[in-house]
Structure 1
Amino acid sequence: MRSQQRVLHVSDPAERENLATFLSRAIRLDVAAVVRLRRRGDTFVSAWVTTGFEALAVRTVSAELGVDDVTVGADLVLAGLGSGSPIDLGYSMDSAWRGALPPSDGFAHIDDVPARTLVELAERGAQLAKEHGSSHGPPASLLDQTVLTVSADPVSVEVPMRVVFALTAMDFIPHSGDRAEARRIPPSEIVRVRATNTWLRIDARYGSVARRRGGAIPLTPS
């Protein structure tokens, strides 16, 4: 480990491929995407990106990071992953990151939902966006609409279309074929819905999305 240097080292080829795929999807959504790298212990690094849907996406890989927390260009990291050598992250772009990250722990497991259900919702949403959207994208009323409510007594968590779109845009659900289609998702594949008092998180096989909850209710009885 190169302590307190802006260096990222992903030694495992499979983990380099995982992170490269994640960053490629982020850049597909925003060519100027930045990635916030945060160290988790001595052996893991979480990579956070924005999605354009007011939701964050994260993938955690086995890696070494010389600083605790740094924001840099996603394209810089992606380019460096091809060599297998430690990546010099250069100057930080911390000012480019707006807003806080969700906590690393404290999430309560609400319920598991068939992944196919989320993809079906995304397909319906995409059709509605095509019919009612504009050059600026889907209407805010569609994005803010609650499309799924997940409950575990006494807690009820609302999932807006924004989060569903973010999950499918990052291609976090495994599927056969070139893109996620409901009919290509195994019925046994699930996503896990978790929440704190102020954050919603959905964990899929290849990554997670998180968004602040509006009008959040306590997760514990008063």
Structure 2
Amino acid sequence: MSSEQRVLHTPDPAERENLATFLSRALRLDQAAVVRLRKRGSSLVSAWVATGFETLAVRTITAELGVDDVTVGADTVLAGLRTGHPVDLGYSMDSAWRGALPPMDGFAHVDDVPARALVELAERGADLAREHGGVHGPPASLLDQSVLTVTGADDLEVQVPMRVVFALTAMDFIPHAGEKAEARRIQPTELVRVRATRTWLRLDARYGSVARRLGGGIPLSPS
């Protein structure tokens, strides 16, 4: 892969801002975050990051990418976006990406749930984490606890663990009034779509999605 190809073109200022906001949130969770950029057709690029909750986050923007799939430093991309010029992605950091990505297609729509309810779950979970957490953060038993059961057509049922709810709110994907996503600041009509395959769970909010492999962490195998 030549360095000339590792360029991201985002001519639309709004799309540059969308990606910059996404990367800023990822870096807030991990100052050394890497972002995996993957081309989707000729005019879309999906940006994937790890959230620290064994759950991936993604935002798709209108852009052009010189390669099909590359992992680079999130800080490098963020700095490049702020120049307003095409972003030189620098050195590839593909070895820093440890897991597989979920499939692009094949997700079944299970149901839509009120965004406010998910934020309420996150608030209660944060209270419990403060009460029972230690120096290493919330206990795994809390993160792995199923906090929501969503049932769709044909009795399709998925369990949503707390770590997925935490990832969704940590990335601030739900629109809200004010500086902080508090349940009372979420419009009652705002929905989050729950989708699933046989092996992956995905929550789609207005500003991005989070995904986790059902029944466990991110698989350490090629996508």
TM above 0.5, one fold?
Answer: yes
- AA of the residue aligned to 2:48: W
Q: Which AA in structure 2 matches 1:158?
A: Q
Deviations 1:50-76 (A, max 9, x none): 000000000000000000000000000
Total equivalences in the alignment: 214
Q: Which amino acid aligns with 1:26?
A: A
2:169 corresponds in structure 1 to 168
Q: Residues of 2 paired with 1:41 and 1:177: CA distance? A: 36
CA RMSD of superposed structures (Å): 1.3
Q: How big is the shift at 1:3? A: 11
Which residue of structure 1 lines up, in the alignment, with residue 126 of structure 2? 126
Q: Structure 1 stretches of 5 or more lacking a match?
A: 216-222
Q: Distance in 2 between matches of 1:3 and 1:82?
A: 20
What is aligned with 2:212?
211
- Aligned partner of 1:95 in structure 2 is 95
In 1, are the aligned partners of 2:196 and 2:202 still within 8 Å (CA)?
Answer: yes
Whole-Å separation in 1 of the counterparts to 2:184 and 2:29:
24
Runs of 5+ in structure 2 lacking a partner?
217-223
The aligned residue for residue 187 of structure 2 is: 186
Question: In structure 2, the residue corresponding to 1:148 is in which secondary structure?
Answer: strand
Deviation at 1:90, TM superposition (A): 1.3
Structure 1 residue matching 2:141: 3-state secondary structure: helix
TM-score normalised according to structure 2 size: 0.94
Q: Check the 8 A contact 1:3/1:67 in 2, yes or no.
A: no
Q: How does 1:19-168 map to 2 (within 5 A)?
A: 19-152=19-152, 153-168=154-169
Give the percent of matched residue pairs that are identical in Structure 1 and Structure 2.
Answer: 80
Q: Distance in 1 between matches of 2:51 and 2:35?
A: 11
Deviating 4+ runs (over 3 angstroms): none
